[in-house]
Structure 1
Amino acid sequence: MMESKLLHILALLAVGLVACEAASSPELYWKSKLPSTPMPQAIRDILHPDLLEEKSTAVGVGKGGVGVNTGKPGKRTNVGVGKGGVTVATGSRKGKPVYVGVKPGPDPFVYRYAASETQVQGDPNVAKFFLEKDLTKGKTMTLHFIKSTNQAAFLPRQFAGSMPFSSKNLPEALNKFSVKPGSVEAELMATTIKECEEPGIKGEEKYCATSLESMVDYAEYQLGKNLRAISTEIKKETERQKYKIEEDVKKIMADGSKYVVCHKQNYPYAVFYCHKTKNTKAYVVTLKRENGSEVKAVAVCHTNTSKWNPKHLAFRVLGVKPGAVPICHFLPQDHIVWYSN
């Protein structure tokens, strides 16, 4: 009897340890691989979104196993870890998926795509493209920085790896997340998967990271072990308004350095489109609004755009041709630049 009770207790402890490790493994992995590298705001915000549960989305530890909750009552997918497992909520308490309001269309940070008319007329990313010559102290720009509406959180790698993520398996993915085929949400998921599957432009090495662990590994593979990461930081989102470059622009690395830039995609859990491109520069820019508040923005400049789609958003907005002049863009808050220290 004593032996059976002991075995039962050990079994419960083992399940609890596995569940706790699963819930916190992305953060533990970061600390083990990058002990001296500060975690950028873009990652912190979606690593512990349980702190933001009242606003939008949550990843937490609770009873009932590992589940995916799309915000609809009773819609939950268990994937097989017992009591104390990880719960991933990808929608608000009102049942609205986190990416509702984002219209399907070409990603402006995927350079193979032509821009749609909708993007040219109303995409807030339009204002983020500019010429490198404008990246000087005292320059005023009209910009629009918003906090991401996609608060989808990281899954631990072992769970992300078990999720269907391919065009072939899209119906299975839609079913797992209780997403109706033909809906806006389904189209966004399909677009993200398609962008991950298509080859990059010439000279671009790309990879879609479906977990924080896989993103760290890809950056390390491309840049080496001594990594740093940085993201745009805003305290409060604003309407489109004027910003002034307040200080001398700081180049992150010397010319010719290698960078990996990761752009967050629209998906029920965190997926990042990461790519290493040649002829890239990166800067940290202090922007001040008219009311005095500041934004620490990361700007990426591409010195060779000759292989981009001639109808890309940047060319249509700036009125220049591929390869003519260096083109820059500010990164949204939920995108990340990796570089070697």
Structure 2
Amino acid sequence: MNEMKHMYQNEQSQNYKMNEMKHMYQNEQSQNYKELEPIDERLSQMESEIIFLRQQFHDFNNKADDTEGLPVYTQEQWDTIKLSQDEDENSSHKLQNRHMELMNRNCHLKEKSDKYKKNSERKVVVRQLPQELADNLTEQPMSEASLEHSSSNHLEVEYEAQGLKKKLDQINCKVDNLNIKLEATASKYSHLDEQFELALESLQYTCEKVQNNQKKLEEDVANLKIYVQDNKIKNGQGEPHRWEIEQRTREILEENQKQASPFSETFDRASNENNKVSLMKLMQFRIEKLESQVSEIKNEISDKTPRISMRLQEVSSRFPVKTQRVKSREEQI
């Protein structure tokens, strides 16, 4: 406290001396200006007087031819004027020297004032250094405590970052597994779609074949009826021909059943294909569920790392295309 008080008193004394020097410099400068003003006025008066005397001398020379006694008077007057002019010039030189002396003194005072200002500023800086040093010494324990706190926070952040990294690795593993499952489901659905198309083509072919056999059977029955009627008319032998007709009809029915059995098998296969369609619907539901899980995982980690968010966006941008393709195929079915 005593040192601070002493430093404060020194600062006040320095400021007082500085103000005193400023006032002294201003007073000296105003005094120099006051001394220079009459000198300038005197110089201007002397210059005007010299001009007037020269003009008068010129007039006297012009009137010299008029009188004889005038040249003597003019010569005396000229000597007086010349003497006065010499005195004026001497005084003018003295005034100019005085003016130069005052200007030099003014410059000297200005240099002295600038030097004093620099010394005063240097003293102020030197005086502030111990205070800054004391402030730094007082702030050092605080900075050390802050450094320890920041180091502990840094360790906590590192631990948290490691935990987040592990969690992100787990999420990446889940996303990769979901990716594999979605790709497997999409490939399986594509294979089932191909099988279903083949089954539809086979069913269509079987239906066409059954229709052709049906038409052929109808033609055979019509021909058989005509043949029976003709035999009844020609031979009158109804009973033997009835047995032949029944035998022929039985053979045709057996053949028709043989031809219709592939149709029933195809129908069974079609029913199985319907089951496959229902299975496809279940698979579609599973795909949508997996996509919802992907969306939930995306929402969970979108606030933690942009890298995982971008990865999930890539996954979600890849598989909705397959899902849309699956939906379009289901609509075609």
Q: Give the greater-gyration-radius structure (CA).
A: 2
- Same fold per superposition (TM over 0.5): no
Structure number with higher helix proportion: 2
TM-score bracket for this pair, using the shorter chain length: under 0.3
Q: TM-score, normalised by structure 1?
A: 0.14
Structure number with higher strand proportion: 1
